[in-house]
Amino acid sequence: MKTPLHCLVGLLLLSVIGISEPVHAQKLDLSFGPVETWQPSKVFSTEEQADGKVLIAGPFTRVGGRAATGLARLNADGTLDEAFTKTAAVESTIWKVRQFANGRVLVSGYQQIVVGGRTYNGLALLNENGTPVAGFSPELAADNYIVTLAVQADNKILLAGFFSNVVSGQTHHLVRLNADGSLDKPFMAALGTSFVSNYTSSPYTNNEVTALLVQPDEKIVVSGRFQEVGSYSRRGLVRLNKGGTVDAGFVPALPSGPNFETLVHHLALDPRSNQLVAATYNLGSTSREGLYRFTNTGAIDPTFQAALPLTSSGTSTISDRSLAVDATGGVLLGSDEPLSNDTYLIRLLPTGAIDSQFAVQQLDNQVGNVEVLANGDLLVAGSFSRYGNLPQASLLKLDNAAEPRATYRPMVDVTGSVTSMVQQSTGQILIAGRFREVNGVAAHNLARLTLAGSLDPTFSLTGTDGRIDQLLVQPDNRIVVGGAFLKEGNHNSPLVARFLADGQPDVAFYTGLAIPSYFPTDMLVSALASHTNGAVLAGLRIRGYESIKLYRFLSDGKADKEYERNLGAGIKDVNNIAVLTDQRHYVTGFRYNGGIVPYMARLDADGTPDQSFAPAPNPVEQYSAVIEKLLIQVDNKVIIGGFFKEANGGYLTSKLHRLNTDGSQDGTFVDNVTSGGNGVSRLALQADGRILVGGSNAINGSVYRLNSNGGLDASFQGKGLYNKDVYNLLVQADGRILTAGPFTEVDGQPRAGWARLTGAAVLEVGHQQATAKLEAWPNPVRNQLYLRLDATAAPRTVMLCSVLGRVVYSQSVSTSQIQVPVGNLAAGVYLLRVEYADGPVTRRVVVE
C-alpha cells in the first residue's frame, strides 16, 4: 500500500521539531554503524608451490579474517601466510599468478596494478618472500591487456592479449619478455606479423590469442582466432619452436565447416605422453563445446572420444586454467555454465567417457580454475560459494572421488553486496543480498539492523542458501524474498520464500517451482511486489535460455493459474513491478519486435490488462530504450527512470520521465537529461515529493535529488560525497537516507558499502499546523480512542498512520466527536492527523 504524502509529512514534522540544521548540509551520519558485510570472493587463479603452499589471485580483500587484497599465499593447511601477504602489499585485483622455478612470483591484472607501493602496467614480479624484484620493468603500456601468460624454463615470459606499443604502429596479441621485462626482440622478429592486427582499441579482434602452453621440450602451443601464422595455414591452433618460428611438423586437424569456426579456449598436456588436450567452442550455426586430444603431429587421437557435446559457452579469459589432465590421463574441465551432466565440473576417463566415480556435488556457480596438486588432489576455484552441503566456499580441495577435504577451509572474502533494504513498522531495517557475515556474525543473505546499524540479535539469521535479489515486507510483517536460492534455512523454497517477522522460515509458503538438478547461475528474481491479501507478484527466470516470466503466487505459495490465464503471452522479460493502492499494478520489461523493444503495461489485480492505460505516444515504446526503475507517486502518477532517446531520435540519454494515470507523458515534469549519467540504479520518494536518484553520474554524483517537477535540486550536494556508485536507497521514517553500494568512502570517512546521510536528508517541512483544537484520550490506548474536534474549524478527515506512514485508519467527519477503533492494531507509536479547513493538526498516539 502506498503512503499518502500528507501522512509522511506529518510524521517528518514530528521527527524534526527542534532541528535547525540548514537544508543543504547533508552529511555522513556518524551515529550509524559502520556496518560490515562479507561474502565469498571469486578466485581467478591458483598456483601450488613446491613446498605445498598455494598462491591465489582474485578480487578478494580478506582471507581467513585477515586483510589480504588481490594476492595471497596459503599454508598447506589453508591458513593465510601473513608474512608474504603483508610484504607483497598488493592493492589491486590480480587476475593471474605464476611461479618461476626459482620461487619468484609473476602476477598480472587489468591494465595498471599496484604492488608493493609501485604501479605496474599490468605485470609485476615478486621475490619468493613477496618483495618486488629490483630491475624488473616490463615494456608494456598502461592500456595493455593481458589475457593469459606462461613462464618458460629460462625465465622468459610469454604474454597473450592486447599490446599496442611493442612495435611502433602495430598491435600485437602475443609477445615474449626477457626475465627483466624487456622485449625479446629476436622472438618478436621471428613471429613477424603473425599475431598482429590493425585494430588499436580492443583485445577481441582477429589474431587474438586465447591460450598458451609451454611443452617440456620448450615448444610453445598457441590458440586463438587466426587463420595463418607466418607462411603456414594454421586455423586457431599452432605450435611454435622455442625461437618463435612455426613448428611445421605439427598440423592440427581442428573441426571446421562453412557455417562455424572452432575456437580453442583452453589447453593442457597429458603428463603420461605430453599429448595436447584442447577445449574448444564452435562459433556459428552449430555452436557447441568439444574436447580433443591430439597426437604429436596434430592429428586428433581417435582413442579419446569425449562424451559431449556440451552446452557451455566456455569460460572467461579471466579464468584461464579450467582444463587439466591428471597423472592417470583423466581430463578435468570446469565451466561457466552447466556441462552435459548438469554440473560445472566433470572428469573424463582417458577414453573420453564420463568418470562416474568422480561424483561432483552441487555447485551454485562456475568453476574457473582446476589444478592437479602434487599429491593427486584437485584444487578447484571459481565463482561458486557452495559445494553440496558445504557452505561459504570458493576454494576447495577435492579427493579422487570429488569429496571435499574437510580440514581445508580457507575463507576467501570480499565485501558483501546488499541488493535490497526495507524498514519494518518497528523501525528496524531489513537487509538482503549476497553475504555470509554481518559485523562479525554469520548471516546467510538476510539480516536485520537496529536504527543505530548494529545487528539485531532477536532476528534469526538462517536466511537462504543463495543470493537474494529482492525483498519486501507484507502488511502482516511477514518477509518475502526472491533470488538465486533453493532453501530458506532447511526448508525447500526455491527462488521465492517467505519468513516470519522474526526471520524464521515460514513453512506454510511453498512455490513448488521446478528447478533443474544443477544450480543455474543465471537464475534470477528481477522484481517482487505484494498484494494486500498476501499474494506475491514476481518476475522469475529459472534457466538462462528462458525469458523472465511474471508469476502471481497465492498466500500459500501456489501459482495463481487464473492470473496466468488472464495475463496471456504479451508480458515477459519483466524487470519492474509496482502495485497501486487498488491492487492494479504496473509492469515493465522487453519484447522482441524486430529488435528489443521495451514495454510498460498496467494490469488489474487478476492479471487482466487495464485498457484505460494507453502509453502512446510516450517515451516508453522506443526501440532500444531501457526502463531501469519505476516509482509510483502518492497521486498515482508514475516516474520511470532509465535510458531514452532524445526527441530528435539521437543518442540514448539517462533521464527520468513522469506519466499521468492514463499513460500520457506529464508535460509539467521538466527535462532532466544529465550528461555523464550511466543509468538509474534506484529511485526513492521523499515526503515532500522530491525524488532521490542513485547510480553513477559524473556530473551530479552517486546520489542526487530532483525537485517534484523533475528539475535538479541544487540544494542537495551529492557530488563528491561518495567515492563510488550508490545502488540502493532507503528513506527512513525520520527522513534520514540509508545508502548501499560498492563505495568505500563517504564524506571523507571510510565506509565499506554502507552509510546513512543526515542533515538535508532530514527535511524541513513547510506545512504549517492549524491552530484548531484537538483532544484525544486515553493515550496510551488499548481498544478505543476518543476524539473531540474543533467544530468551528471545519474538520474534514481523521487519519491514523503507522510510524512508516502507512494509513491504518481513515474517516471523513462532520461532527465534533468521534471514536477510532485501535484494538486490532499492533502496539507502537502512531500519528493521528486531523485535516481542518485551514490545515492539519497532528498528535502522537501510543497503542499498547
Answer yes or no: is pLDDT of 14 > 50. Answer: no
Same domain (yes/no): 264, 396:
yes
Q: What is the mean pLDDT of residues 21-33?
A: 67
Q: What is the mean pLDDT of residues 154-175?
A: 85
Query: What pLDDT digit, counting tens, does each position of 752-792 carry?
Result: 888 999 854 343 333 444 567 788 888 888 888 988 888 88
Q: At 556, is the pLDDT very low, low, confident or very high (cuts 50, 70, 90)?
A: very high
Q: Is 238 within 8 Å of 267 (Cβ atoms)?
A: no
Choose among 338, 395, 371: nearest CA to 58.
395
Residue 790 domain boundaries = 774-847
Q: Is 413 within 8 Å of 36 (Cβ atoms)?
A: no
Answer yes or no: is pLDDT of 651 > 90. Answer: no
Same domain (yes/no): 698, 840:
no
> Is 421 part of any domain?
no
Question: Is this model's pTM higher than 0.85 or not?
Answer: no
Percent of the chain clearing pLDDT 70 (strictly above): 85
Q: What is the mean pLDDT of residues 229-244?
A: 94
d(CA 39, CA 680): 25
Report the Cα 515 to chain-centroid distance in Å: 21
Same domain (yes/no): 741, 811:
no
Mean pLDDT check: name the lowest of 188-192, 309-313, 341-345.
Answer: 309-313
User: What's the CATH code of the domain at 299?
Assistant: 2.130.10.10
Report the Cα 191 to chain-centroid distance in Å: 41
Radius of gyration, alpha carbons of the chain: 30
Query: What pLDDT digit, counting tens, does each position of 432-448 carry?
Result: 999 999 999 999 999 99
- Looking only at the bridges linking them, the beta strands covering 491-492 and 745-746 are unpaired
> Is 795 part of any domain?
yes
Mean pLDDT check: name the lowest of 164-168, 293-297, 729-733, 837-841.
Answer: 164-168
The pLDDT assigned to 341 comes to 62
Query: What pLDDT digit, counting tens, does each position of 821-835 carry?
Result: 988 888 777 888 888
Same domain (yes/no): 795, 693:
no
d(CA 787, CA 791): 12
The pLDDT assigned to 315 comes to 46
The region, left, alpha or beta by phi > 0 then psi within -120 to 50, assigned to residue 169 is left
The pLDDT assigned to 23 comes to 38
Answer yes or no: is pLDDT of 519 > 70. Answer: no
**What value does the mean pLDDT of the chain take?**
85
Query: What pLDDT digit, counting tens, does each position of 324-361 carry?
Result: 999 999 999 998 877 766 688 999 999 999 999 999 99
The pLDDT assigned to 497 comes to 97
Same domain (yes/no): 781, 833:
yes
Q: What is the mean pLDDT of residues 19-46?
A: 77
The 3-state secondary structure of 78-124 reads CCECHHHHHHHCECCCCCEEEECCCCCEEEECCCCEEECCEEECCEE
The pLDDT assigned to 318 comes to 58
Same domain (yes/no): 684, 785:
no
User: What's the CATH code of the domain at 822?
Assistant: 2.60.40.3080
The pLDDT assigned to 637 comes to 92
Query: What pLDDT digit, counting tens, does each position of 84-114 carry?
Result: 999 999 999 999 999 999 999 999 999 899 9
Which DSSP helix (H) or strand (E) runs through 16?
Answer: helix 5-16
Give residues with Cβ within 8 angstroms of 285, minimum separation 6.
259, 260
d(CA 622, CA 648): 12
- φ/ψ of 81, rounded to 5, equals -85, 90
* Count of beta carbons in the 10 Å neighbourhood of residue 284: 12
What Å distances lie between residue 637 and 85, 576, 606, 626, 627, CA to CA? Answer: 55, 16, 21, 19, 16
The pLDDT assigned to 22 comes to 37
Query: What pLDDT digit, counting tens, does each position of 676-728 carry?
Result: 556 688 899 988 888 999 877 667 778 889 899 988 888 887 888 899 889 89
* Count of beta carbons in the 10 Å neighbourhood of residue 653: 16
Q: At 735, is the pLDDT very low, low, confident or very high (cuts 50, 70, 90)?
A: confident
> Is 218 part of any domain?
no
The pLDDT assigned to 761 comes to 38
Question: Which of these three, 414, 441, 463, is where a domain ends?
Answer: 414
- φ/ψ of 37, rounded to 5, equals -120, 145
Find the length of the chain.
848
> Is 337 part of any domain?
yes
Query: What pLDDT digit, counting tens, does each position of 561-584 carry?
Result: 999 999 877 787 899 999 998 999
* Count of beta carbons in the 10 Å neighbourhood of residue 498: 25
Answer yes or no: is pLDDT of 276 > 90. Answer: yes
DSSP letters for 672-696: ---TTEEEEEEEEE-TTS-EEEEEE
Same domain (yes/no): 394, 330:
yes
Q: What is the mean pLDDT of residues 158-179?
A: 85
Answer yes or no: is pLDDT of 200 > 70. Answer: no
> Is 459 part of any domain?
no
Report angle CA 817, 818, 823 to the nearest 5 degrees: 150
The pLDDT assigned to 700 comes to 75
Q: What is the mean pLDDT of residues 40-52?
A: 96
> Is 687 part of any domain?
yes
Report angle CA 15, 18, 22 to the nearest 5 degrees: 95
Q: At 557, is the pLDDT very low, low, confident or very high (cuts 50, 70, 90)?
A: very high
Between 198 and 178, the higher pLDDT residue = 178
Our count of domains for the chain comes to: 3
What Å distances lie between residue 254 and 166, 260, 300, CA to CA? Answer: 31, 12, 8
Same domain (yes/no): 709, 740:
yes
Same domain (yes/no): 373, 256:
yes
Question: Which of these three, 391, 414, 437, is where a domain ends?
Answer: 414
Q: What is the mean pLDDT of residues 70-93?
A: 97
The sign one gets for the Cα dihedral 631, 620, 703, 688 is: negative
Answer yes or no: is pLDDT of 657 > 90. Answer: no
Answer yes or no: is pLDDT of 29 > 70. Answer: yes
> Is 542 part of any domain?
no
Q: What is the mean pLDDT of residues 29-55?
A: 93
Choose among 453, 454, 456: nearest CA to 28.
453
Same domain (yes/no): 711, 782:
no
The pLDDT assigned to 454 comes to 92
Question: Which of these three, 730, 764, 798, is where a domain ends?
Answer: 764
Same domain (yes/no): 690, 824:
no
The pLDDT assigned to 7 comes to 56
Same domain (yes/no): 713, 823:
no
Q: What is the mean pLDDT of residues 310-317?
A: 49
> Is 561 part of any domain?
no
* Count of beta carbons in the 10 Å neighbourhood of residue 595: 9
Choose among 65, 62, 114: nearest CA to 88.
114
Which DSSP helix (H) or strand (E) runs through 840?
Answer: strand 839-847
What Å distances lie between residue 766 and 361, 504, 600, 793, CA to CA? Answer: 61, 42, 35, 21
d(CA 306, CA 283): 19
The region, left, alpha or beta by phi > 0 then psi within -120 to 50, assigned to residue 753 is left
